[in-house]
Amino acid sequence: MITSAANPRIKQILQWQRKARERERDDIFLAEGPKMYEEAPPDWIREVYLARSLEEKLLLGELAPALSEKLRQSGYEAVEDGLFRRISDTQTPQGILTVLRRPHYTLEELLQGREPLLVLLENLQDPGNLGTILRTGEGAGITGVIMNNQTVDIYNPKTIRATMGSIYRVPFLAVDDLAETARGLRARGIHTYAAHLKGNACYDTFSFREGTAFLIGNEGNGLTEAALDGAESCLRIPMEGRVESLNAAVAAALLLYEANRQRRNGA
């Protein structure tokens, strides 16, 4: 059992928690909690750390059988409870921290299927928004998320928590130029729609049954002019009262579930 903060593994985990460049250098990300561990693809798992109190439950047979079996198969390193709290990114640690290798997707993988459904994100800064969009997107049936490199780190621990496991199942890609990517999608027959307050028509007047990509912009400033120019059409979400805009994740959810509704109902 690891009991010392001077342990090299503990020092490394703290670096991974605090610095995105350390995670990128080692091509890993961190996921906390039993649910994130249980849903993790086995071949993604590199290391597992278990709080001593949870290990005791494991040894006493007090954990769920599926969780216990996976821990026995993957192996783990026990960590003293106080030290585990130090390496956790949450105020109330759940006792399991998993180190996972990063997946690497291609654009072709995001375009699989007859009628792709994508979200293109420009300059999002809130990790909770990004994670929620992945989670909502999985529920709505998206085939992938594309974001520019100025968008918040998808491997930020807060983003990972907000995905609630969807990080394992929704393909994603970071690109240098989102507008150029949008134009490339248009050339491949995918309709690209920019969500914007100045859109000339409401979102529910469009058909999203064919290949579709929605562009969502920064929480405060929306989409840049360059991104707008890369889109085929601008659409808006109608607002009542004195509301000027919606949360980026909420806007994405409305658009994605409208596409989902149309595709399920054929209208």
Please report, for the chain, the start and end positions of each structural domain, with discontinuous segments joined by +. 8-101, 107-265
Alpha helix (H) residue ranges in 111-224: 127-140, 157-163, 178-187
**Best CA proximity match to 204, nearest among 253, 250, 258:** 258
How confident is the prediction along the chain (267 residues), in pLDDT tens digits per residue? 999 999 999 999 999 999 999 999 999 999 999 999 999 999 999 999 999 999 999 999 999 999 999 999 999 999 999 999 999 998 899 999 999 999 999 999 999 888 999 999 999 999 999 999 999 999 999 999 999 999 999 999 999 999 999 999 999 999 999 999 999 999 999 999 999 877 779 999 999 999 999 999 988 888 999 999 999 999 988 888 877 778 899 999 999 999 999 999 875
pLDDT, residue 219, reads 84
pLDDT at residue number 196: 85
pLDDT computed for residue 79 by the predictor? 97
> 8-101 and 107-265 share one CATH topology?
no
The CATH topology of domain 8-101 is 60s Ribosomal Protein L30; Chain: A; (3.30.1330)
CA distances from 243 to 42, 104, 234 (A): 45, 39, 19
The CATH architecture assigned to 107-265 reads 3-Layer(aba) Sandwich (3.40)
The runs of H, that is alpha helices, within the chain are 8-18, 20-26, 34-39, 52-59, 65-74, 81-87, 107-110, 127-140, 157-163, 178-187, 225-230, 248-265
Q: What per-residue confidence (pLDDT) applies to 267?
A: 58
Sequence-distant (6+) residues with CB within 8 A of 159 are 127, 128, 130, 131, 152, 153, 167
How would you list the strands of the sheet with 212-216, edge to edge?
A: 172-175, 144-148, 117-121, 212-216, 191-195, 233-235
| C-alpha to C-alpha distance for 105 and 113, rounded to whole angstroms | 15
Q: Which residues pair with 173 in a beta bridge?
A: 146
